[in-house]
Amino acid sequence: MTESTSTFVAYPQRVISGPGVSHAALANEVAAVGGGPVLVIVSDRELPLAQAPLDALRDAGIDVGEPFTDVRPHVPADAAEAARAVARERGVRVVVALGGGSTTGLAKAIALTDDVAIVAIPTTYAGSEATVVWGITENQNKVNGSDPRVLPASVLYDPELTLTLPAGLSVTSGLNAMAHCIDSLWGPNESMVSTAYATEGIRALGQGLAPVVADGSDLAARARLQDATYLAAAAFSAAGSGMHHTICHVLGGRYDLEHAALHMVVLPHVLAFNAAAAPAAASRVATSLAAAGYGDGSDAVGALLALYDALGAPRSLGDLGLAEADLDEAAGLALEKVPASNPRPVTVADLRALLARAQAGDAPTA
Ligand code: NAD
């Protein structure tokens, strides 16, 4: 294998997009991937969004039972066990997961141990529905893995289900998708296909986010963000992640920082650190954001920060709960996990400085 060798693995997945598909296409999708009875996973908060999909399943004569609503962040092992027990007791072949990454993650935990197909109906831009990555948390320790069995067999992107996402959550979740795109550009399995996905994903996020912040009911912009969500997650799933994701994984697990917001704050700092050592990736970020109206195509970090300014995106890890006193420990822990494939060598002092700037909300520097 030479340095220019790359491998792209395409996993089979049905992806249906458009207003109303979460109920109009759901019964067909359930039938296509295994049929009833189904277990519907949805948190209490998203339960109103699940009414039309539940009605559509019942109208089609599919046994939906009671929705499983014990959805919590980071998939606690006890919730996974409880959901598996219900699925087994009811002889479920298909799990319908309607919600954000936490909801999809719970469905993935079932598919990891039991032979069920997942139909995912995402309501945020986290993108878990398009990756083979799973995570389960036990005793405050989140274990992650990669397994094709957890990939949803079918995904229904219905922009109408995202109209209730407040502007703040739309920004953090959308910039989490941006992190999937950018970190995939130097991922260990980066390929022509993953980079094409990421490049278009960055452009679509740049085009969709500001209109959604200006008018949360802009259905076309919401749909654009869902296109971007899929491209971002598929790029990340295929290419693997770089230093950005390992830093966020370590910080999120150790200091219990909110997932999407953490990604949003760290991303410009990692881009600034890596850009000069990854000129092709930086150029793609710059030109994609320029196509969306940010920057002139010559400065990736400047363009990303222009987007953050336009969105009023928060910039400080301190505001998310990371204390200055934690910086030494955080830098040491993150260094242990930085992948060898990172385009630029990293020292503990580099990470300490990067995290200190992010903690204080200072501008990123190389
Ligand atoms: P989440 O699922 O926890 O949802 C965040 C909040 O948004 C919740 O309070 C939820 O009730 C609310 N919400 C969801 N949809 C809404 C809507 N349409 N309107 C209003 N409120 C809504 O958070 P998330 O950011 O979607 O996902 C984060 C989780 O997903 C983390 O555990 C992360 O590790 C995981 N994740 C996994 C992958 C993967 O590939 N496996 C990828 C991304 C994220």
Q: Hey, what are 192's tokens? A: 């022509």
| Minimum CA distance residue for ligand 1 atom 2 | 100
In whole angstroms, what is the distance from residue 186 CA to residue 5 CA?
A: 14
162 lines ligand 1 (CB under 6 A): yes
Cα(344)–Cα(306) distance, integer angstroms: 24
pLDDT digits (tens, 9 = 90+) for 247-304: 999 898 889 899 999 999 999 999 999 999 999 999 999 999 999 999 999 999 999 9
**Ligand 1 nearest-atom number relative to CA 134:** 41
Q: How far apart are CA 124 and CA 170, in angstroms?
A: 7
In SS3 terms, 4-29 reads as CCCCCCCCCCEEEECCCHHHHCHHHH
The amino acid present at 290, given as its one-letter code, is: A
pLDDT digit string, tens, across residues 84-140 = 999 999 999 999 999 999 999 999 999 999 999 999 999 999 999 999 999 999 887
Which of 13, 140, 169 is the best mutation target for the ligand 1 pocket, counting ligand atoms within 8 Å of the beta carbon and taking the most? 169
Specify the DSSP class assigned to residue 364.
P
Contact between 358 and 316 (Cβ < 8 Å): yes
Q: Taking the chain, what is the end-to-end CA distance rounded to the nearest angstrom?
A: 32
Burial readout 250-263 (b: 16 or more C-beta within 10 A, e: otherwise): bbbbebebebbbbb
CB of 174 closer than 6 angstroms to any ligand 1 atom? no
pLDDT at 51 (0 to 100): 98
Sole residue written with tokens 């997009």? 17
Ligand 1 centroid to 123 CA: how many Å? 8
Which residues does 5 contact at the CB level (< 8 Å), separation at least 6? none
| Ligand 1 pocket member 123 (CB < 6 A) | yes
pTM: 0.97
The single-letter DSSP state of residue 76 is B
**pLDDT at residue 238 greater than cutoff 80:** yes
Q: Is 128 in the pocket of ligand 1 (CB under 6 A)?
A: yes
Q: What are the strands, taking DSSP E only, across 100-217?
A: 117-122, 133-138, 141-146, 154-157
Q: What is the pLDDT of residues 188-231, one digit of tens each?
A: 999 999 999 999 999 999 999 999 999 999 999 999 999 999 99
Which tens digits make up the pLDDT trace of 315-346? Answer: 999 999 999 999 999 999 999 999 999 999 99
Q: Where are the alpha helices (DSSP H) in 131-191?
A: 167-184
* Distance from C-alpha of 88 to C-alpha of 90, rounded to nearest angstrom: 5
List CB contacts of 23: < 8 A, sequence separation 6 or more: 52, 53, 55, 56, 158
